[in-house]
Structure 1
């Protein structure tokens, strides 16, 4: 199944997106609903709240008195954190139970208002953030929830800012238009990305890249996109997994194909094979075939590796799995750092890319055309490494 995290600031329209996703067949797990469920009368969660804050947080009927509890934690960060330590783990446990009960082909949407604040983004295959202009949010909260403008501002200010949420967003839905406009975009997202993503995940296949070549201008969002992908891989393999951003999209200012290249270092290729299932479940299926790097300056020899792609049709990825310390591993890091540090080399590579793209209409021919340039530049990169004392640093 595809696990999607959905979040957005209060008043942004997250609930409208969640409802439309359900209309499109998604299974919704609402954290606000679960937060109430885990402190219902008779639950261990409610007992823990009473133990932490006293019997004054109960109504005469024995239910949680939310205004009374709110008064105890309002303006008290320590009290708020104490409450979160009771509620959040129970909500997550219940969310996992509900996800496991969903059909195998489900798109499971976890509606989590504090997804960014609680650091959960990397646990999902995809994160959707709903964003709306601050003034629009204030107006909505005043008109639909009966808040004063001051109360609305205080609620908005208590949450993560737009920049923090954008950093976690694989999909950013700006909800400044009509409800119909929002529905059209959600429907397209389900049709063009979420459903194909789920199908690839279920079958363990990578989304196919078309043969056509398109070199684009450098995108300042590439490093942040790579960081989100790396975080997901580390969530699947362990926080210390040695994975890094390589290739042209890792070099600021360099035109590139809009494909994020990542590299995972492993002790042996047997270890790479042992990790394949976990990477696939995280959304990075192995690409079939035997993969090698061309050995620079060594005709007829190759450097073996494993290749994974992504099940997400909306973000092309190449995940190169190489043995740490191997020639291919070193070369990938060296060329990235050399091009970052030497403007002349970066400019020459950009000019050469433009010529290759003009001469070749498909990615395979373009890739083959690059090899002679890399063979020559490899020596210049080695000279730079020796002169500067460079050492491979993922």
Structure 2
């Protein structure tokens, strides 16, 4: 889910009681659980969860497994599996922390094999709670009509999204359709909407995802008519939580592509070097590209946020890549832009990400999660358009390329092409 959309929209809703439960101390929760006074309502098996918003259901599947009495939850989005192992129970409520994100599912039993509760995001500027229910038992992600002729949505599509103000932006839709369902994603200039999965029902397409930071629902229909050049088209809606809504249209086009991600922004006229000095997330000290550690080396600067799934996709690529390649004379600096002005809180969020994702390169607190503020913090750059943004610096300390956005593994061949380009750029700069 591209940051351009996620930063514009906020989500809110469910009970204050659940939020209070979610904020109980870990030590108190651990004591309650250890005393045997609390029992988790999470039963082993496949569950279908539903986020309720805008009169819509945003469904997702998750697995529950138990080992030694301690449950683990695994979110399922297409081929992706996100394991959640920070789970605590206090009283009748269970809190499932959502990976690196400062968010949780706070749930309680609502009858045998049923849960009720909320998706709570603690890092939002205002209360961010979305009603949540779940039911145990293998079932389709979306209910479909039996014995109904199914329209094909398979292939590559040229897409245009329009928000409620009338502003539009281009995208590319890539879908794979089998008798088991539909998987795919949308690519945009600021990132992709990650792993989507769902079903086609008659001439209707239904796709959703929930990764802990975003809950998305895409619906679309092929109206039966075509464009003037007889191309098949789709008309649809995109829902995000309680308030986010856009419409989208698509035309089937195997050659659909986005603007060049390396040409969307650059350095200001007369500027060649990136200059900054930001606090290291580790105790004391600062990080600057002019530090002795980075001199004479190829340097990659990653603009990211621990709240950003596209950033996590890039970090999942960069962290192991760095471990394999740092001895070649290349370094990476991650500049964190967090949803808090408190540097200590921001540093803790980034440190949690660093530890959970085994990030070996340096991370600094650079500012708040706002593209305009990020642009001001790096005044040599024309404009920061997205999180993540990746900046390539040569051995002389000069910026050679700025790549906007990141196409994650849910985009398939686009992900592979992007990573091949990344390696090619590094090889060229190291060879100079």
Does TM, scored on the shorter chain, surpass 0.5? no
Point out the structure with the larger helix share. 1
Point out the structure with the larger strand share. 2
TM-score by length of 1: 0.27
TM-score by length of 2: 0.25
Answer with 1 or 2: which has the greater Rg.
Answer: 1
